[in-house]
Amino acid sequence: MTTPLPGTPRIRIPARARPGEVIEIRTLLDHPMETGLRHDNSPAPPRNMLARLEIRRDTTPIFAADLRNGTAANPFHVLWVRMETTATFTATWTDEHGRTAATSARVLVG
C-alpha cells in the first residue's frame, strides 16, 4: 500500500479514435514541485518533489519521466500515440517519498 498524493491527477484524451489515428494525451497533476531552494538562502518550505511519471497503454509502458528541480510546478506533459485498437491509458505519478497518484482513461477505436 502506498499513501495517496494530494492533488487531482488528470489525463485528457479523446474518447474515440479511428484506426491508425494519432491522438494527443495530456497529463497534469497539481503539485508545488517545491525544491526547498531559494536564491538568497531565505527560509524555504521543505523539499516536496515528484520524482516520476509513468504512462501505460493497458499494461505496456509507453512513456516515463524522471522529474528533477527544473520541472515546473503542476507538471504537465503532452505526448502522441497511434491508435489501432481500443486501449486504456493510465498515468501514475510518484513523489520522492513514494506516495502515488494515478488516473486512467479509455479510448474506443472503431
User: Residues interacting with another protein, by CB under 8 A?
Assistant: 22, 35, 37-39, 44, 57, 60-73, 75-82
Q: Nearer Cβ to another protein, position 44 or 108?
A: 44
As a whole number of angstroms, the distance between CA 4 and CA 44 comes to: 24
Please, what is the minimum distance in Å from the beta carbon of residue 51 to another protein? 11
Q: Nearer Cβ to another protein, position 77 or 99?
A: 77
Please, what is the minimum distance in Å from the beta carbon of residue 97 to another protein? 19
Residue in 100, 55, 48, 88 with CA at minimum distance from that of residue 71: 48
Amino acid at 57: R
Residue 17 vs residues 23, 30, 102: alpha-carbon distances, Å: 7, 28, 23
Q: Nearer Cβ to another protein, position 5 or 81?
A: 81
Tell me, rounded to whole angstroms, the distance of Cα 89 from its chain centroid: 11
Please, what is the minimum distance in Å from the beta carbon of residue 17 to another protein? 11
